[in-house]
Structure 1
């Protein structure tokens, strides 16, 4: 009887899916439900009680919340503008048969992805330091320009964050696009050449449409990565307290309230707001690319 149950064709699919369902319930659904519940509570050591919408009202009245939301949104926008077109173009070049040393460049561009974000943050903080002997200020001095406190201004601080993100993640996005490019049949390009299509026409009419699924995936994870950024900012400003909160992110605000100030209820409310923001943006992006349209 037991043997028949194990080898049942009706039950076997559920057995294979069960580990994923359990993992989803334990590591995603349960924490999400707990966070949503705590956002309506005041959580104290050994006791909790409901406070209604007080945490959300406190969040809405806090100027730091809007600063963090603006910083995270701006960072996400800039990373989308850089980390989708740039890896796409580089992937097309690396996939070309005319490209020499292609394997070397692929490995070199992917290495930063393997680097610890903590180490990378420390190195970039030294490179973009405010002192005259920092690397970037030394380069500016070669052109007769004055010293800049890179981490002291909102624009320059955001520039450093985007440069760090580009250095770390352009390689992994190249891998995504390369994997998709290598699945495009060569016969399509040969047929296009016979019809007189040039390089640009082949790229626009063949490459881009067939890369759409991967581009949507990269867009989705980039939105998530942009709004969940914390360690880079923490390391660049050597803590969670940047001048006038120019480096404060949504995760940084959550950390400040939930961990540093031990206000888990307010921290949970910030987390729920962050989750809602990312879900809305991703749904808008998917709707824009037509993923919810019915196929005719």
Structure 2
């Protein structure tokens, strides 16, 4: 009986220690994440200015679907999502596969070079791309000298090319970030698996599709969810590269929410409604991805 009491007291001490470590983090999550989400939802049900707000129900949510600029921002954001995310993740997997080769020399240098754009400041790299694709920028100067263009083209002044520049900037910055996750996943795969496939006569392409991709599935799902989350909240590139132009042709949802709350006549109720709508989209897409990727019986 004494031994049982001592063992129970030890378990209680372990539980108490566990709660002592968890409580500060849990409180921080509640205060910094859940409380603002609840406040944002309550604010989305109100309209007004300053400290004078009144409850109007779901009026702000109904207004969203009549707001042409917001609907355009949704279309732009999903356009970036549908093109940039697949290209970026495919490039990240291919680069990780190449840089995981045990016979490759200077692997550390190549990995650093691919990851380096991710360490660049969001504002800095957006401004750099803006100067590169300016009408008198480096890209136009090179194209004119090569004889491809007769004069500088306004890449950021046309809707199609401005979107292409934003997508290119996103791919340049975030491919290395996702490559690190795939590289970590590849290094957890035993090399004997590849050797066995090689003995069985599988070529590089079959090995990649039949071994690498299935074993990287959890990592692929994780990076896909993170990329969706990040793209749906895209802000810096829209603001610093094109400022949402021309004529709101490149504006994103987060950019329009910022304009609604801080740039134009402040409307925090309507801005909160749009922000909560983005939150719901992110949550739904993450749930779908997890369900699709869950292979458990």
TM-score (normalizing by structure 2): 0.91
Q: SS at the partner of 2:250?
A: coil
Q: Which runs of 5+ in 1 are unaligned?
A: none
State the partner residue of 1:42. 47
State the partner residue of 2:4. none
State the partner residue of 2:90. 85
CA deviations over 1:94-137 (Å, ceiling 9, x no partner): 001232221111011111111111111111111101x2x32111
State the partner residue of 1:97. 102
State the partner residue of 1:136. 139
C-alpha displacement of 1:277: 1.3
State the partner residue of 2:230. 225
Asked if structure 2 preserves the Cα contact closer than 8 Å seen for 1:118 and 1:231, the reply is yes
State the partner residue of 1:286. 290
Q: Which runs of 5+ in 2 are unaligned?
A: 1-8
2:21 counterpart of 1:21: no
Asked if structure 1 preserves the Cα contact closer than 8 Å seen for 2:47 and 2:56, the reply is yes
Partners of 1:148 and 1:273 lie apart in 2 by 37
Asked if structure 1 preserves the Cα contact closer than 8 Å seen for 2:73 and 2:251, the reply is yes
Asked if structure 2 preserves the Cα contact closer than 8 Å seen for 1:5 and 1:11, the reply is no
State the partner residue of 1:266. 270
C-alpha displacement of 1:5: 10
2:8 counterpart of 1:10: no
Q: 1:294 to 1:94 in 2, by over 3 A?
A: closer
State the partner residue of 1:215. 220
State the partner residue of 2:208. 203
Q: SS at the partner of 2:103?
A: coil
Partners of 2:53 and 2:93 lie apart in 1 by 50
Q: 1:5 to 1:181 in 2, by over 3 A?
A: closer
Report how many residues are paired: 286
C-alpha displacement of 1:145: 2.0
RMSD: 1.8
Q: SS at the partner of 1:9?
A: helix
Partners of 2:213 and 2:246 lie apart in 1 by 42
Partners of 2:153 and 2:269 lie apart in 1 by 40
Asked if structure 2 preserves the Cα contact closer than 8 Å seen for 1:71 and 1:246, the reply is yes
Q: SS at the partner of 2:247?
A: helix
C-alpha displacement of 1:243: 1.6
CA deviations over 1:34-75 (Å, ceiling 9, x no partner): 111100011422232101122112222110011100011111
Partners of 1:113 and 1:44 lie apart in 2 by 39
Q: SS at the partner of 2:14?
A: coil
TM-score (normalizing by structure 1): 0.91
